[in-house]
């Protein structure tokens, strides 16, 4: 995640969707570095780098625009002072998107998150925040940031076994985004958020990484049981048909 990379777009004029990203001058590990050959209709280039203290106002503006909740001042201080893993995508000087995460032991997480893995001694990564400036949404920026984070977590110690996050149950864009990236529903968090005077429900989504198996579901048990019974039956039928 450390270092700087230039990102650019190939843009589908008919569909307002970016077709892909390319990178140059890469001194970090990109998840993909495909060069798109067709001419660029949108010639923006983006810079990926760690957030710094001088980005604080831009971070605050992006969060105020993106979230219905107010973060305390100390949270912003932590985001830009290196206490958390904070990365931004910049359009020139302007902060276009950001992701903030931290890696810690499961036993240091909130009680409601401790069921994510059977062992509380395991490392897990928590995504505190991901936000994209409204004018840059649905262009793959959050995907780019998430892919970069996931590669970093898979390639570097302490190799956390799961990545998780909390999201408002009504945030359909974020739910769709995380599901598309392989995150699974883990738990409901009734009245988890306070938005003004109102309480709102949240939920936890998890993605197991670095070779960790997901929790065994009832469906998994049925499938395994079914296969165990069916396989010998199938073999007998096959033998009888010869
Ligand atoms: C959620 C958010 C980060 C997505 O950022 P983005 O850069 O627009 O996301 P991407 O372009 O990488 O989208 C990837 C996929 O996510 C899903 N998605 C993103 N925005 C969506 C929306 N508004 N509605 C439905 N699905 C959406 C889609 O599956 C999309 O793929 P597609 O465009 O091929 O259909 C952005 O909408 C945002 O900043 N929201 C406000 C802050 C927030 O809610 N953060 C999450 C808090 S946990």
**Long-range CB contacts (< 8 A, 24+ apart) of 173-181?**
173/137, 174/130, 175/205, 177/142, 177/143, 178/205, 179/205, 181/143, 181/146, 181/207
Domain extent, residue 117, equals 48-241
What is the pLDDT confidence band of residue 32, given thresholds at 50, 70 and 90?
Answer: very low
Alpha carbon of 130 to ligand 1 centroid (Å)? 10
> Of the listed 126, 178, 193, 205, which one is catalytic?
126
What's the pLDDT tens digit per position in 99-132?
A: 999 999 999 999 999 999 999 999 999 999 999 9
Q: Is 126 a catalytic residue?
A: yes
Q: What values do phi and psi take at 97, rounded to 5?
A: -160, 155
Q: Give the atom of ligand 1 at the shortest distance from the alpha carbon of 138.
A: 11
For the chain, the domain total comes to 1
**Residue whose CA lies nearest to ligand 1 atom number 17:** 177
Query: Which atom from ligand 1 is nearest to the alpha carbon of 133?
Result: 39
Within-domain flag for 98: yes
Q: How confident is the model at residue 45 (pLDDT cuts 50, 70, 90)?
A: confident
In this structure, is residue 130 part of a structural domain? yes
The 10s digit of each residue's pLDDT in 175-212 is 999 999 999 999 999 999 999 999 999 999 999 999 88
Q: Is residue 34 part of a domain?
A: no
pLDDT of 47 higher than 60: yes
Residue 39 lies in a domain: no
Mean pLDDT of the chain: 79
11 inside domain: no
Look at residue 12 and tell me whether its pLDDT is greater than 90: no
For the chain, what percentages of helix, strand and coil (3-state, to nearest 5) are there? 35, 35, 35
Burial 54-86 (b: 16+ CB within 10 A, else e): ebbebbbebbeebeeeebeeebbebbbeeebbb
pLDDT at 238: 56
Does residue 198 belong to any structural domain of this protein? yes
Q: Tell whether the model's pLDDT for residue 7 goes beyond 50.
A: no
Most trustworthy range by pLDDT among 8-12, 43-47, 108-112: 108-112
CATH number at residue 225: 3.40.630.30
pLDDT of 218 > 70? The answer is no
- Residue 31 in any domain: the answer is no
């Amino acid at each position: 995640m450390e270092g700087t990379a230039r990102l650019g777009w190939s843009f589908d004029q008919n569909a307002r969707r970016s077709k892909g990203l390319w990178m140059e001058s890469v001194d970090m590990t990109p998840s993909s570095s495909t060069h798109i050959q067709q001419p660029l209709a949108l010639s923006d280039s983006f810079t990926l780098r760690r957030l710094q203290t001088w980005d604080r106002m831009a971070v605050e503006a992006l969060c105020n625009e993106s979230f219905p909740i107010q973060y305390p001042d100390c949270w912003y201080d932590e985001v830009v002072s290196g206490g958390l893993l904070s990365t931004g995508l910049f359009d020139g000087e302007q902060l276009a998107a950001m992701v903030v995460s931290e890696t810690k032991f499961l036993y240091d997480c909130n009680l409601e998150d401790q069921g994510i893995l059977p062992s509380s001694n395991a490392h897990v990564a928590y995504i505190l925040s991901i936000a994209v400036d409204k004018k840059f949404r649905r262009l793959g920026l959050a995907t780019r940031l998430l892919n970069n984070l996931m590669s970093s977590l898979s390639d570097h110690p302490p190799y956390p076994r799961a990545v998780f996050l909390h999201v408002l149950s009504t945030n359909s864009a974020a739910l769709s985004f995380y599901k598309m990236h392989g995150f699974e529903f883990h738990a409901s968090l009734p009245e988890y958020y306070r938005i003004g005077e109102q309480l709102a429900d949240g939920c936890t989504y998890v993605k197991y990484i670095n070779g960790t198996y997901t929790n065994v579901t009832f469906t998994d048990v049925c499938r395994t049981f079914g296969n165990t019974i069916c396989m010998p039956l199938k073999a007998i039928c096959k033998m009888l048909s010869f």
